[in-house]
Amino acid sequence: MIRRFEAHARKFLTPLLRERLDPWHAAAAVFLGIFIGIVPIYGLQTLAAVGVAFLFRLNKPLTVAGTFINNPLLLPLIVFSSVELGCFLRGGSFRPLNLSTLAVARTHINKEELFIWVIGSVALGILVGGVGAAITAVVVHLHLKASASSALRERVRFVNEVFAQSALTARKFVRWKLRLDRIFELLAAENLGSGTVVDLGCGYGVALCFVAFGDNSRRLVGCDLDAHRIAVARQALSTLNADVTVADIRHFELPPAGLILILDVLQYLPAAEQLALLKRCCSALAPDGILIFRVPDCERGLRSAIAMAFERLIFAIGGDGFRPRVLSIAEYRSVLENAGMQLEERRLQNRLPLVHVLFVARKPSMEAAR
């Protein structure tokens, strides 16, 4: 009974603790928590913190923790600093501190004194909250960077071991792909959810293998038009729960999935087929599922021109007679938002002179959908 309670409690608390812990959202949570803790709304601070955390979709434990600045040890200093700041803002000078002033303040607080206290507490909340937010942003950024670096190294080692028995050309391709393509840094730092993973245009299956790190039983599904690459993927991923086939992504039957990847493939399709595929992917995702896809960034001037020249070169080598077709960010955004997805867009500059836009679209949970 106790173990079951602990399991349920852990299942409930873990998502709360990890909710939106990127530097900017964490900083906003701390700023609002400290601000609410300093302003004189005693008795309502926790309720207010939870309310703004829900309103702005911030980390709730972190927001509430910020209000703990209002504690018996710091409360006298907070009140004194608020009054002094209020006096400065109201009259242009600080109030002299002496015993008679403190005695009067303790026995008689009029509307003017209360007004000074309130405006001073607001100013103090902004100042202290800003400092706390800045420190939080730096600390979270450094922590995520260190965690991502460690996770990336472990995943890269795992992928290289999986492909260790492949042919030399395949091993070299995988090794250099992992070194040069920054998409793997982002995937290592991302919460990749649970459930079936689908990679449309999976090639050698590098991304599928990368995602499978830490959960060898996770179902991996992939397709690609290149029969040789699929053969390599089948051999390398034979120890994993993988099913990769030679198929056209436009007609590939999508299973219910927790994660769908489309990396550097959409631009091979006409505009209407790109949008239709994205709609199918959104429909195939389970609640809380994630769709991650990448396209060249056409809004970065010279870098975009280089990226598109590289894409045209790849198309020419392939001899398919197609030219890459990249839609505007607004078009991709529109189809995802119309499907009810929660969307993040990230501009990505690779180690090669290429620029991309990475879309991370999350399907709302059933509770959020209601």
Domain 165-369 indexed as CATH 3.20.20.70: no
Cβ neighbour number for residue 246 with a 10 Å cutoff: 13
pLDDT at 102: 45
Q: Can you tell me the distance from the alpha carbon of 338 to that of 279, in angstroms, rounded to the nearest whole number?
A: 9
Q: Are 227 and 193 in contact (CB under 8 A)?
A: no
pLDDT computed for residue 366 by the predictor:
62
Q: Do the strands 257-263 and 242-246 form a parallel or antiparallel pair, or are they unpaired?
A: unpaired
pLDDT at 348 (0 to 100): 73
User: Which has the closest alpha carbon to 295: 360, 204, 232, 199?
Assistant: 360
Residue with tokens 């992928």: 159
Question: Is 259:192 a contact under the CB 8 Å cutoff?
Answer: yes
Nearest residue to 208 via CA among 221, 193, 195, 223: 221
Alpha-carbon span 347 to 360, nearest angstrom:
11
Record the tokens describing residue 342, joined without a space.
């929660």
The domains of the chain are located at 2-143, 165-369
pLDDT at 180: 86
Give SS3 for 2: helix
**Sheet containing 285-296: which strands, arranged edge to edge?**
242-246, 220-224, 197-200, 257-263, 285-296, 355-362, 342-349
How much is the pLDDT for 8?
Answer: 47
Tell me whether residue 92 is exposed, middle or buried, using C-beta atoms within 10 angstroms of its C-beta: 0 to 12, 13 to 18, 19 or more. Answer: exposed
pLDDT of residue 16: 47
Q: What is the CB neighbour count within 10 angstroms for residue 214? A: 11
CB atoms within 10 A of CB 342: 14
Name beta bridge partners: 125.
Answer: none
For the chain, 370 residues long, give each residue's pLDDT as a single digit of tens. 555 545 444 544 455 455 667 788 899 999 999 999 999 998 899 999 999 988 888 888 899 999 999 998 998 899 889 888 988 888 877 776 554 544 444 445 667 888 888 999 999 999 999 999 999 999 988 877 766 677 788 899 999 999 999 999 999 999 999 988 888 988 888 888 889 999 999 999 999 999 999 888 899 999 999 999 999 999 999 999 999 999 999 999 999 999 999 998 898 899 999 999 999 999 999 999 999 998 887 666 665 666 666 666 665 555 555 667 888 889 999 999 999 999 988 877 766 667 778 899 999 976 555 5
- The four Cα atoms 182, 186, 189, 192 give a dihedral, to 10 degrees, of -130
Residue 305: per-residue pLDDT: 64
